[in-house]
Amino acid sequence: MTEPTLVSLDVLGAGDDPAAARAAAQAAPPDPWAEVEGRDASRSVTVRLTPSGRVADVAISDWWREELSPGRLGDAVVDAYRGAVTRSAAAMAARPPADPPRPAYPLVRPIEPGLDHDDWLAEIRRANQRAADELDRARRLLREQAGERVVPGPAGIVRLHTRGGVVTTAEIDVHAALQESPAVVAADALAAFQAIG
């Protein structure tokens, strides 16, 4: 009968220095295409953004009540969001330049060759009208977006105040936040962020 032998664990990196590995990971440049996250000062709230800047996740720790007063939870959500937006902007600036995006459709269609003078002039007028319509639509969208809006979550626990599409404040129903689990409050906040568009 043979005795079992133990395999050496050196292949698993047992001899590596964990502090050196952590330092090497921190020294590596961040991936500009990765999701970014922001946290409030108490580290109770985390907001994660996609590489395009859309809110992908909101997390509220189970111990948030030990770090924050119920009235400060909304401020913590906004602080975490702002931190994530700042990191996202830095990551976007670090991305290599790409070809400019092409519009979904050309604003000006090419004019057919061989048109007589009257048809050519009518086509120019139609092209000018299409361009004027697009400008009017863009101005209308800017006016609508520049105003202040309140975007509630589906459960009504979180209400985000926005100006120009940017979150300025977050109201959180204190009684609901104390009664519901942090996951329910976070899910309502996430839905409100995603409803902003």
* Per-residue tokens: 123: 């086509």
Q: What tens digit of pLDDT does each residue of 31-56 get?
A: 666 789 999 999 999 999 988 888 99
Residue with tokens 């401020």: 75
Instruction: Please give the pLDDT value at position 74.
Output: 94
pTM over 0.85? The answer is: no
Instruction: Please give the pLDDT value at position 154.
Output: 95
Instruction: Please give the pLDDT value at position 80.
Output: 96
Instruction: Please give the pLDDT value at position 62.
Output: 94
Q: What residue ranges do the domains of the chain occupy? A: 30-96+147-196, 107-146
Answer whether 161's CB lies under 8 Å from 171's CB: yes
* Spans in the chain with pLDDT lower than 70: 1-18, 20-33, 95-112, 144-146, 197
Answer whether 68's CB lies under 8 Å from 11's CB: no
Instruction: Please give the pLDDT value at position 42.
Output: 95
Instruction: Please give the pLDDT value at position 26.
Output: 60
Question: Could you count the other beta carbons within 10 Å of the beta carbon of residue 170?
Answer: 24
Instruction: Please give the pLDDT value at position 145.
Output: 64
Instruction: Please give the pLDDT value at position 7.
Output: 53
Q: What tens digit of pLDDT does each residue of 147-165 get?
A: 788 999 999 999 999 887 7
Instruction: Please give the pLDDT value at position 144.
Output: 67
CA distances from residue 152 to 45, 160, 162, 164, 185 in whole angstroms, order as listed: 18, 6, 11, 16, 12
Euclidean distance between CA atoms 54 and 86, whole angstroms: 13
Identity of the amino acid at 131: A
CATH class of residue range 30-96+147-196: alpha beta
Instruction: Please give the pLDDT value at position 132.
Output: 86
Instruction: Please give the pLDDT value at position 30.
Output: 57
